[in-house]
């Protein structure tokens, strides 16, 4: 199934982002809301009305497509006016609204041109304009920035945020880019394989991930996830005792983000032993990729080592093979069920 039982609520004026890898069902959810595809079960409401039986044109929604879908044989003006004309809006009203929207998006000089004569960024704005001019109840955006080059994308992201502040229309925005998701959304809905993994604000998603998928998907570089075992109340990684934890014994997945993990050149007891693989300098900091031994008799079938990324201050360099120690700060260490990947409900405090 492209979508398993999806339950999603968007508040009035909210900007909700559906984010996830390709095939996760986010575009499907958007198209169902638009009425371009039909659900096999379930109910969709817009503004309180059930819209399952309504054609897209009757749902009072507007959509911005990834490839813009501008009518190539019509001028920008007629592209913007098309939806209004279908609703028999009087000519003067159309004129007013089109010019107003064009002004807002700074495309007033382009009204007489055809889409083929516009740049990618201009086309994107016309696509936005076509949706905005109809003042719909809801705004559906399907990866509208993915066809723009990186620089333009950053700029348009800012424009979008400002636009939503000025015109807070209820919106669902689909993207696979987690940076876009985290910066643009009031709330995020992380999806994978047709199911919702977690819904929440950027802060919720980033700092309180519900499972290993969300933890690893959001954040770049991703959170380090390491298989470990708790024996007699002590956390063991690769056989080495790390610290005491107040958590049931058994296998567990431990997660720490690269920027929270602390790197010590000299290994000491209680640290996680590791060996440097390579260092990537990034100007403001460096990323050290290290190998951690995770072999444990209680964890049959796990690989011998796992890679871990640590963020360290700039200017440092370590030779490949150097033995180092890693420290996991208690308030930034996450525990996930080793089998299901779900976050353990209470974050266990570790005593060092």
Partner 1 sequence: MPEDAPARRPFVVLRGLGRGESVTGWALVSPAVVLIGVFGLLPVLMSLQLSFQKSDLLTPETPWVGLENYRKLADDPVFVEAIKHTIIYTALFVPGTMLVGLFVAAALNRSVRFISVYRTAAYITMAVSTISQGIIFLWLTDRDYGLVNAALNAVGAPSQPFLASPSQALYVIVAMTIWGWTGFSVIVYLAALQGVPAELHEAAAIDGASAATRFRTITVPLLGPANLFLVVWLTINALQLFDEVYATTRGGPLRATTVIVYYLWDRAFVQFDAGYAAAMAYALFVVILVITAVQFRLARKHVHTS
Partner 2 sequence: MTKLQLSDVAAAPVPTLAHSDAPPAPPARRRRWLPFSPWHLVLIPLTFLLIVPLLWMLVTSLETEGEANRFPPVLLPERPRFENYSEAWAAAPFGHFFLNSALVTLVVLLSNLVVCSLAGYAFARIRFLGRGALFVTLMATLMVPFQVTMIPVFLIVKWFGDNVWAGLGIDHIGALMLPNLATAFGIFFLRQFFQTVPVELEEAARVDGTSRLGVLFKIVLPLSLPALSTLAALTVLTSWNDFLWPLIVITSHDQMTIPLGLSYFQGAHRVKWPLLMAANVMSLLPMLLVFVGAQRYFVQSVASTGLKG
Q: Give the nearer residue to partner 2 in terms of CB position, either 6 or 308.
A: 6
Residue whose tokens read 């007013």: 96
Answer for which of 5, 45, 87, 161 binds partner 1 (CB under 8 A) is: 87
Cα(124)–Cα(144) distance, integer angstroms: 7
Taking CB under 8 A as the binding criterion, the range among 1-9, 104-112, 283-291, 315-323 that sits at the site for partner 2 is 1-9
Answer for which of 67, 106, 119, 316 binds partner 1 (CB under 8 A) is: 67
Q: Give the nearer residue to partner 1 in terms of CB position, either 138 or 350.
A: 138
- Taking CB under 8 A as the rule, does residue 66 contact partner 2? no
Taking CB under 8 A as the binding criterion, the range among 79-87, 168-176, 191-199, 311-319 that sits at the site for partner 1 is 79-87
Taking CB under 8 A as the binding criterion, the range among 81-89, 144-152, 178-186, 191-199 that sits at the site for partner 1 is 81-89
Element (H, E) at 163: helix 150-166
Cα(41)–Cα(35) distance, integer angstroms: 14
Q: What angle do CA 205, 206, 210 make, to 5 degrees?
A: 50
Q: One symbol per residue from 21 to 60: x for binding partner 1 (CB under 8 A), - otherwise; what is it?
A: -------------xxx------------------xxxx--
Q: Which one, of 219, 205, 199, 292, lies nearest residue 254 by Cα?
A: 292
User: Are 197 and 285 in contact, with CB atoms under 8 Å apart?
Assistant: no
Q: How far is the CB of 266 from partner 2 (least distance, A)?
A: 52
Running DSSP on this structure, what letter comes out for residue 342? B
Q: Give the nearer residue to partner 1 in terms of CB position, either 57 or 281.
A: 57
Q: Give the nearer residue to partner 1 in terms of CB position, either 84 or 309.
A: 84
User: Are 68 and 124 in contact, with CB atoms under 8 Å apart?
Assistant: yes
Running DSSP on this structure, what letter comes out for residue 75? -
- Taking CB under 8 A as the rule, does residue 221 contact partner 1? no
- Residue 280 bridge partners (DSSP): 287
Task: Look at residue 172 and give the partner it binds from partner 1, partner 2, none, a contact being a CB closer than 5 to 8 Å depending on partner kind.
Answer: partner 2
Cα 147 off chain centre by? 17
Burial class (CB in 10 A: 0-12, 13-18, 19+), 302: middle
Q: Which one, of 206, 245, 208, lies nearest residue 228 by Cα?
A: 245
Q: How far is the CB of 71 from partner 2 (least distance, A)?
A: 15
- Taking CB under 8 A as the rule, does residue 128 contact partner 2? no
- Taking CB under 8 A as the rule, does residue 39 contact partner 2? yes
Task: Look at residue 32 and give the partner it binds from partner 2, partner 1, none, a contact being a CB closer than 5 to 8 Å depending on partner kind.
Answer: partner 2
Binding residues among 162-221 for partner 2 as defined by CB under 8 A: 170, 172
Residue whose tokens read 């059930």: 50
Q: How far is the CB of 72 from partner 1 (least distance, A)?
A: 5
Backbone φ/ψ region at 153: left (φ over 0), alpha (ψ -120 to 50), beta: alpha
How distant, in Å, are the alpha carbons of 96, 237, 243 from that of 192? 43, 29, 33
What are the residues binding partner 2 (CB under 8 A)?
A: 1-14, 25, 28-29, 32-33, 35-48, 53-57, 137-138, 170, 172
Binding site for partner 1 (CB under 8 A): 34-36, 55-58, 61-63, 65, 67, 69-73, 82-83, 86-87, 116, 130, 134
């Amino acid at each position: 199934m492209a979508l398993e039982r999806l339950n999603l609520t968007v508040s009035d004026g909210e900007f909700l982002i559906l984010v996830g890898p390709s095939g996760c069902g986010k575009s499907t959810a958007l198209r169902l809301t638009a009425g371009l595809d039909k659900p096999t079960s379930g109910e969709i409401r817009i503004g309180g009305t059930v819209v399952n039986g309504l054609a897209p044109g009757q749902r009072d929604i507007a959509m911005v497509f990834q490839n813009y879908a501008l009518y190539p044989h019509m001028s920008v003006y007629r592209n913007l006016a098309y939806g209004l004309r279908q609703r028999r809006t009087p000519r003067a009203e159309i004129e007013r609204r089109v010019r107003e929207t064009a002004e807002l998006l700074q495309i007033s000089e382009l009204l007489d041109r055809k889409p083929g004569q516009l740049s990618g960024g201009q086309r994107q704005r016309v696509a936005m304009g076509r949706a905005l001019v109809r003042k719909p109840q809801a705004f559906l955006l399907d990866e509208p920035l993915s066809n723009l080059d990186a620089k333009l994308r950053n700029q348009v992201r800012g424009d979008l945020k400002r636009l939503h502040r000025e015109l807070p229309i209820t919106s669902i925005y689909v993207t696979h880019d987690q940076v876009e998701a985290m910066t643009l959304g009031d709330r995020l809905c992380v999806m994978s394989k047709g199911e919702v993994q977690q819904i929440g604000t950027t802060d919720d998603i980033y700092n309180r991930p519900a499972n290993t998928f969300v933890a690893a998907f959001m954040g770049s570089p991703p959170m380090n996830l390491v298989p470990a075992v708790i024996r007699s109340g002590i956390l063991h990684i690769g056989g080495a005792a790390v610290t005491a934890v107040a958590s049931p014994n058994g296998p567990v997945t431990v997660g720490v983000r690269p920027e929270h993990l602390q790197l010590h050149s000299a290994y000491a007891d209680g640290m996680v032993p590791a060996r440097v693989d390579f260092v990537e300098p990034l100007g403001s900091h460096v990323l050290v990729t290290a190998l951690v031994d995770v072999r444990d008799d209680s964890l049959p079938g796990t690989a011998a080592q796992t890679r871990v990324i640590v963020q360290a201050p700039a200017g440092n360099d370590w030779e490949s093979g150097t033995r180092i120690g890693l420290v996991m700060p208690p308030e930034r260490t996450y525990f996930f069920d080793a089998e299901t990947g779900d976050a353990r409900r209470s974050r266990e405090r570790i005593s060092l």
